[in-house]
Amino acid sequence: MLKLTYNYNLKLSFKKKNLLNEPNLKIKEMKKNVFLFFLALFAVLFTGCQNNESDFPSSDNPTVVVSTKEIYGAPTRKFEIKAALADDLGLKSVHIQIPELSLDKVITFETDPLLETYNLSYFFEVPADRGTSEAFKIKLTITDVSGNAVDEEINLRLDGEFSAPAISMLSPNEGAVILLSTSNIMPVNFVVNDDSGIDYVQVKCAALNIDETVQLQGSPQTYTFSKEYVLPVTAANYVLTITAKDKFAIPNTGSLNINVVATNEYPAIYLCDQPKGTNLKTDAAGVPMYFHEKNGQNFEFKYYADKDNKEIYFLGQESDFAPHCFGLDGSENIVDAASSAPIILPTKGYYNIKMNPNTMAYTVTKYTPSSKVWADIANGSWNDDEALRKTFVSVCGEGVKDANWDTWNAWVMGSLHLANNPDNPYQLVGEITLTGSTMKITFTGQWWNPQWRLINNGIATMSPGENGNGAYTAAPGVYKVIVDTELERAFITKK
């Protein structure tokens, strides 16, 4: 700021009697003029110092192109405001307002350099206390550096429907085995439900040249698809893709893939100790139990019955009791039938079980384990001196709350420790909390000694060699853990 100084150094002489003589008037007038000049100059300079913003030339109005004129939202749900902003000289700001929802947001842009275009993407969550029948106006005010402003309005409705159509497979289930020696017909049955109505359903499988779309009339909320497809006589794996689209203003699409094994013989047989009708997809690993040995179609299992008169079945697929469930008929013969009765293991203990799904033969032999017992692991301790170390077993891995791949972390996180099962010296038990992300686990002691790596199919081997950790997907929550060191199996079941 310029500082102005003016010194008045005038020596005046006049007679006391005549104060209004002409020289005196001229001096007064000169003083007045000088004062007014400097006052005007100061005002100009002061105004210039106060205006420290750059001046911009006039320009055209800014432009705004919104991605949609109508946005659907819902209470507690976020919606996105999207728009393309532009100005021939430069954008200054965008003001977003929904007064009823207390939204008043100004986004200001830098002017050095000038911003000519901007893709607006702003998210806002609808308050929980709003009703689904309410509607509002979203006001956008776009201002450029020249002071031009334009307004744009977007309708916001809170009656949005965002759920994809729900597809429930009846058959085949994931991993289903179709035994070609019995039949080469593949029934495909599923039910679709959607609140806003179903537009179409589609079944595709490129390997089988299936590409079928059913366009539905009247937007039904429920639709059942049922059709049979003929499979080639050669064994192969197939992937069915089931898709459904709803009739909402902004359509939602649901899709799932179903893996099917068409074979002349079973690639695997599973031992299941759950009652028929149990959902076999809720547990994380080990249920039903994968076989131990296979020679042709002769499958061998080791199994622990935790009580007398334990009931078991054999399954031809992992995820369900259908289509192949082996149990007993009324004559105590093994049959593949939904109506079959369970096989009974008479007393508590370990069994060696053999089964052939082709010959329908099976044997059950009780035995006493001779493998190492890992005792007193609950009183284990960490010590760098191996001679002073006491064995503990804990959980390392990912997808488990508080776990990582550090064995020190496995030691200090007490919630991850396993304990001995007081009813079975060959079992280590505990609880873990799964996060819902991919689960990979090793059950370990200090410096990975001992360790049982959980590989695929619930197998927990003590000497995994080149086998890597299996990747498992399970819903978040608390799970019970049993590591059976005799069976080399881990059972991680929803609590």
DSSP states along 288-303: SEEPSEEETTEEEEEE
- What distance in Å separates the CA atoms of residue 351 and residue 348, rounded to the nearest whole number? 9
**pTM of this prediction?**
0.68
pLDDT for residue 35: 54
The bridge status of strand 149-157 relative to strand 70-72 is parallel
Residue 378 identity (one-letter amino acid): A
Rounded to 5 degrees, φ, ψ at 448 are: 65, 30
| pLDDT recorded at residue 29 | 56
Domain ranges across the chain? 63-157, 166-263, 270-367, 386-494
CB 259 within 8 A of CB 174: yes
What is the structure's pLDDT at 45?
Answer: 47
Q: What gap in Å lies between CA 456 and CA 458, rounded to an integer?
A: 6
CA 149 to chain centre: 41
Tens digits of pLDDT across the chain (495 residues): 333 334 434 343 333 444 344 445 454 555 556 455 555 555 444 444 443 344 788 899 999 999 999 999 999 999 999 999 999 999 999 999 999 999 999 999 998 899 999 999 999 999 999 998 999 999 999 999 999 999 999 999 999 989 999 999 999 988 888 999 888 999 999 999 999 999 999 999 999 999 999 999 999 999 999 999 999 988 999 999 999 999 998 899 999 999 999 998 999 999 999 999 999 999 999 999 999 999 999 999 999 999 999 999 999 999 899 889 999 999 999 999 999 999 999 999 999 999 999 999 999 999 999 999 999 999 999 999 999 999 999 999 999 999 999 999 999 999 999 999 999 999 999 999 999 999 999 999 999 999 999 999 999 998 776 678 999 999 999 999 999 999 999 999 999
Instruction: Give the pLDDT of residue 173.
Output: 87
Q: How many CB atoms lie within 10 A of CB 23?
A: 10
CATH code reported for the domain at 166-263: 2.60.40.10
53: three-class secondary structure by DSSP: coil
Contact 252, 245 (CB under 8 A): yes
Cα torsion 123, 101, 250, 154 to 10°: value is -90
How far apart CA 249 and CA 160 sit, in angstroms, is 9
**Residue 37, pLDDT score:** 56
Give the per-residue pLDDT at 427: 98
SS3 sequence of 327-361:
EECCCCCEEECCCCECEEECCCEEEEEEEECCCCE
pLDDT value at residue 36: 55
* Phi, psi angle pair for 110, to nearest 5°: -65, 150
- Contacts of residue 184, defined as CB under 8 A and 6 or more positions apart, other chains included, come to 178, 230, 231, 232, 233, 262
Within 10 angstroms of residue 492's Cβ, the number of other Cβ atoms is 25
pLDDT the model gives residue 19: 39
Token pair for 25: 């008037």
Instruction: Determine how many CB atoms are found less than 10 A away from the CB of residue 114.
Output: 15
Domain 166-263 identical in fold to domain 386-494: yes
The rounded distance, in Å, linking the Cα atoms of 394 and 106 is: 52
pLDDT on residue 53 = 44
Pinpoint the alpha helices (H) of 16-155: 22-50
pLDDT computed for residue 249 by the predictor: 87
Q: Which CATH superfamily is domain 63-157 in?
A: Macroglobulin (MG2) domain (2.60.40.1930)
Burial class (CB in 10 A: 0-12, 13-18, 19+), 429: middle
* Three-state secondary structure call for residue 270: strand
Instruction: Yes or no: say if 216 and 223 are a contact pair by the CB < 8 Å rule.
Output: yes
Q: 386-494 in CATH: which number?
A: 2.60.40
Q: Distance between CA 459 and CA 268 in Å, rounded?
A: 14
